[in-house]
Amino acid sequence: MSDTWVAIDFETANAHRGSPCAVGLTAVDQGRITDRMYTLIRPPAAYRHFDPYNTRIHGIGASDVESAPSWAEALHQILRFTAGRTLVAHNAAFDLGVLRDACTAEESPWPTLRYACSLVVARRTWRLISYALPEVARHVEVPLKEHHQAGADADAAAHIMLAAMRHHRAKSLDQLLAELNVVHGNVAPNAWSGSRSKGTYKGKPSASIPGTNPDADPLGAFYGKTVCITGTLSRMKRAEAQAALAVVGATPVAKVSGKTDILVVATPDPRRFAIGSEQSEKQRTAERLLEGGHDIEIIGEADFFERLIS
C-alpha cells in the first residue's frame, strides 16, 4: 500500500446537510493510520437549530458548540489537515454534501476535492445483508463502540477501505477503485460529481409502474431499486416516504419478495436489525432471501433519509 488519504465523517445538527456540528478525520499513509483530527463545529447561522432527533443520535446539542469553531474556521482546519489528499467517507454522498451545503449556506466557494466512497466499495467487495457503517465494520472485525461519534466513524471508514484493499490485494486506493470499476468523486468551486460504480444501475424502470418517475436521476441512490419499508418512520408517514421514493426513480412495494432490492427498517438505531435482535417478518424474509442467493440490502432509517436527500 503506497498511497496516502484521509477518511472523513460529519455529524449534523438537523436534517439539513448544511448544518455540520462535528467532524472527524483519520489520515492513512502506507496502509496505516498515522494521524487524527476532531472538532465540534458551530453550524452556519441559517441552520444552527438542533433537532432533538439528531441530538438523540450523536449526543451533541446547541450548548456544546457555543464556543466551537465556525464553519469557515472548521473548513480551514479540514483543508489544512487533508492537504490535498483524497478523502474517503462511508456514504460519501452525504458527507461531501454536508461540506458543499455548509459552504453554500455561508456563501463561500466550494473547495477543490477528490474523494471515494467506502460504502460503494463495500458493496463491490462483500455480500452482506446491510452495508450500514456498523454492519460493515463488524464484518471486517473493526470495533465501533461509539457510532455517530465523528472521530470513531471516520476511523471505521478508514479501516473498511483498508480491509477492502487487503481483500483485493490492491497496493493503493486508486488501484482498488480501478479494479472495482468505481470512479472518484470530485468537488470544484462550480461543479461536483459523485463516487460511484460504473454500469451497475438497472436502467429506467417501466413507465407502467404507477408513481415511479422515469425521468429521475439515474445516478441516484434509489434509482431503479425496488424498496420496501417495515415499521413506523419517525420523520414522515410511510405513504410520504413511498411517494418520495417514486420521485427519485424507485419502486416502493408493500411486501418483501425476490424482486426487492432494499428493505428499510424504520428505526434510527442500526443495532435493531442486527442478527439476534427483535425483527419483523419482512426482515426475516429478507435474510432468508439473502441466504438463498438473492441480493437484498437492509438499511436503517437514518441511512434511508441520508440516501433520499443525497
Tens-digit pLDDT profile for residues 117-147: 999 999 999 989 888 899 899 999 988 888 8
**List of residues 6+ apart from 153 with CB closer than 8 A:** 9, 24, 90, 133, 144, 147
Classify 9 as helix, strand or coil: strand
CA nearest to 56, candidates 98, 11, 88, 26: 11
Angle at 105 between CA 195 and CA 11, to 5 degrees: 60
Q: Are 176 and 88 in contact (CB under 8 A)?
A: no
Residue 46: all three cell numbers together: 441559517
Tens-digit pLDDT profile for residues 59-83: 999 999 999 999 999 999 999 999 9
Q: Are 308 and 244 in contact (CB under 8 A)?
A: yes
* Residue type at position 162: L
CA 228, CA 198: separation in Å to the nearest integer?
Answer: 25
* Phi, psi angle pair for 8, to nearest 5°: -140, 145
In order along its 310 residues, the chain shows pLDDT tens digits of: 458 999 999 999 998 999 999 999 999 999 999 999 999 999 999 999 999 999 999 999 999 999 999 999 999 999 999 999 999 999 998 999 999 999 999 999 999 999 999 999 999 999 898 888 998 999 999 888 888 999 999 999 999 999 999 999 999 999 999 999 999 999 999 899 988 887 543 333 333 333 567 677 777 888 889 999 998 888 888 888 998 898 888 999 999 999 999 999 986 444 444 444 556 788 889 888 888 888 899 888 888 888 887 6
Angle at 149 between CA 48 and CA 223, to 5 degrees: 75
Tens-digit pLDDT profile for residues 248-267: 889 999 999 999 999 999 86
Q: Are 195 and 92 in contact (CB under 8 A)?
A: yes
Its pTM surpasses 0.85:
no
CA nearest to 130, candidates 283, 12, 11, 18: 283
